[in-house]
Amino acid sequence: MKPRYLFPSDYMADPSANVFGDRLYIYPSHDREAGAAFDDDGGHFQMRDYHVLSIDNVFEGEVTDHGVILDVDDVAWAEKQMWDNDVVEKNGKYYLIFSAKDYNGVFHLGVAVSDKPEGPFKAEPQPIRGSFCIDPSVFKDDDGQVYCYFGGLWGGQLQWYQAPEKYADKGVVLGLAPDRKSQLFCPADVPALPSFVVRMSDDVLQFAESPRDVIILDKDGQPLKASDPHRFFEASWMHKKDGKYYFSYSTGDSHTLCYATGDSPYGPFTFQGVILDPVVGWTTHHSIVQYKGEWYLFYHDCVPSNDITHLRSLKVQRLFYNEDGTIQKVVNE
């Protein structure tokens, strides 16, 4: 079965799919043409609000747009760039964890709460204490504990990282530094910059601990290096199947969708392979969810917009597992 474009009437991206009750809800970011110049820090992505879509038949059902569930004007601490978000339910409340830039130009994670999965959501007056960066994914384990995975190389993480210039003659070029003038380098034999994982407080409003690195190991049990094409880049997602934790993410500068598996929500995770080759557009940002006995991969590409300033459209297709639990590679037709 070919992929389905879920919502052709608008440009949306970064879909976080979740099942609440008997319905599947998709929480995307909302692309718009803001006239900002393209840059490697994602400054042209000037999203200002979130919608939620829902459906009860993935390939044939009507997609319901429940409208705006949170606008940047309703978030006291956020100035702009309402990027990726995800929602988790706990004790009958729904918690939207989102990333946005504050008035100092720094990305943080925020929380907004609703009594219904379709919102609207009311934002907390301050961002999560100690939070930083982008691309939150929220995972509730079987014991009810909630974990947040987040991180991204461009657009957030580099504001906390400067590689020493002494490595410039033998390192790996990562791109322009935040000052937009000098190159960033990293020695090829050091571990790749990681994603992060943190357990949330019982009320899902704060971190319950300091964020930990999400370590991805190669088949020899060594952490992936900065030079590895399968290193983490952004777009963390966690799902669980048959007691195994699957950490999936968009890779390096190639934007391949890869995954690694582990025995704990904290990892470490062992690299397993590629799920999807790079799509047309900016990163292979995705989510994986089981609904009515079938597994689905949600993602986006820029084909309908002809890649104009990276306006993206939501897609979905079936995902299949082998008997040993590995994921079969998907073809983006």
| pLDDT of 161 | 45
pLDDT band at 253 (very low <50, low <70, confident <90, very high): low
Mean pLDDT for 207-217 is 95
Distance between CA atoms of residues 283 and 253, nearest Å: 9
> 7-11, 152-156, 221-225, 316-320 — which is least confidently predicted?
152-156
Q: How confident is the model at residue 186 (pLDDT cuts 50, 70, 90)?
A: low
Between CA 156 and CA 84 the distance in angstroms is 12
Q: Which of 76-80, 138-142, 192-196 has the highest mean pLDDT?
A: 138-142
Range with top average pLDDT, 9-13, 81-85, 181-185, 264-268:
264-268
pLDDT band at 166 (very low <50, low <70, confident <90, very high): very low
Answer whether 263's CB lies under 8 Å from 270's CB.
Answer: no
Is there a catalytic annotation at residue 135? no
Confidence of residue 255 (pLDDT cuts 50, 70, 90): confident
In angstroms, the CA 163 to CA 13 distance is 31
From the candidates 86, 89, 118, 234, which is the catalytic residue?
234
In this prediction, residue 177 carries a pLDDT of 53
- Residues 258-292: tens digit of each pLDDT: 999 999 999 999 999 999 998 887 678 999 999 99
Q: Quick check: 98 and 84 in contact, CB under 8 A?
A: yes
Residue 280 or residue 54, greater confidence: 54
Side-chain half-sphere of 110: how many Cα atoms within 13 Å? Answer: 30
User: Residue 199: which pLDDT band, with cuts at 50, 70 and 90?
Assistant: very high
Half-sphere exposure of residue 66: CA atoms within 13 angstroms, side-chain side: 19
Mean pLDDT within 135-160: 81
Tell me which of 18-32, 39-53, 117-131, 136-150 is least confident.
Answer: 39-53
Q: State the pLDDT confidence band at 162, using cuts at 50, 70 and 90.
A: very low
- Alpha-carbon span 38 to 61, nearest angstrom: 36
pLDDT of residue 312: 85
Which class for 313: exposed (0-12), middle (13-18), buried (19 or more C-beta within 10 A)? Answer: buried
Cα 223 to chain centroid, rounded: 21
User: Which carries the bigger pLDDT value, residue 237 or residue 154?
Assistant: 237
**According to the model, what pLDDT value does residue 160 have?**
42
User: Going by C-beta distance under 8 Å and a sequence separation of 6 or more, which residues neighbour residue 280?
Assistant: 301, 302, 303, 307
pLDDT of residue 133: 85
Q: What is the pLDDT of residue 69?
A: 96
**What's the pLDDT at 11?**
86
Inter-residue contact 186 to 136 (CB < 8 Å)? no
**Residues 6+ positions from 35 with CB-CB distance below 8 Å:** none
What single letter denotes the amino acid at residue 202?
A: D
pLDDT of 194? 87
Q: Is the pLDDT confidence value at 25 over 60?
A: yes
Q: What is the mean pLDDT of residues 180-191?
A: 60
Tell me the average pLDDT across 121-128.
96
- For residues 90 and 94, what is the distance between their CA atoms, to the nearest angstrom? 6
Question: Residue 152: which of 174, 172, 167, 121 has the closest Cα?
Answer: 174
Of 208, 203, 201, 207, residue with least CA distance to 92: 203
CB-side neighbour CA atoms (13 Å) of 50: 35
Is the CB of residue 51 less than 8 Å from the CB of residue 12?
yes
49, amino acid identity: D
User: Which position among 10, 14, 65, 102 bears the catalytic label?
Assistant: 14
Tell me how far apart the alpha carbons of residues 191 and 141 are, in angstroms, rounded to a whole number. Answer: 28
Q: Would you say 317 and 296 are in contact if contact means Cβ atoms under 8 Å apart?
A: yes
14 noted as active-site residue: yes
Q: Provide the token pair at 265.
A: 């929500």
The C-alpha atoms of residue 177 and residue 18 are separated, in whole angstroms, by: 36
Mean pLDDT estimate for the chain: 87
